[in-house]
Amino acid sequence: MAGIIRTLKRTFVDELLQKSAIPVDQGHARLTMRLKRDRYTQERYIVLGLVGATNYKHAELDADEFHALFEAMRSLQKAMHIPTAVPPLKSGDSGTQFSLTSPQKPKRPPTACILGCGLS
């Protein structure tokens, strides 16, 4: 019971320092982020919320939890920009094969052959 009261107090009473909201789910919901400060301990924390038409969910994150979330998001952001490999062609498919590597330069004959192959 004390946890519920503490959460309600922190949600509605503590000082709001900064807030932001991002529309998600094609605009049917919002992801809210609020930086708050406990009025008694001066501890700063983040409240993440997911606000939909019929419900509201929130989670409080301390500094370590927020840092872990931020690092996970940074990792996901990097992964979103990694090109995926082109799937191999199925047998019987005719088409151009693409390569993610740079094209190979044509190989030249060894220098010894050019100079000593009986060419005068």
Q: What are phi and psi of 109, to 5 degrees?
A: -65, 155
Q: For residue 115, is it within any domain? A: no
Which residue ranges of the chain lie beneath pLDDT 70?
Answer: 1-2, 11, 86-87, 91-120
Domain, as residue range, for 66: 2-80
Q: For residue 16, is it within any domain? A: yes
Exposure b/e, 52-72, CB count within 10 A at least 16 = b: eeeeeeeebbeeeebeeeeee
Q: For residue 86, is it within any domain? A: no
Encode pLDDT of 82-104 as tens digits. 777 766 777 655 554 444 444 45
Q: For residue 112, is it within any domain? A: no
Tokens of 100: 């993610």
Q: For residue 109, is it within any domain? A: no
Q: For residue 116, is it within any domain? A: no
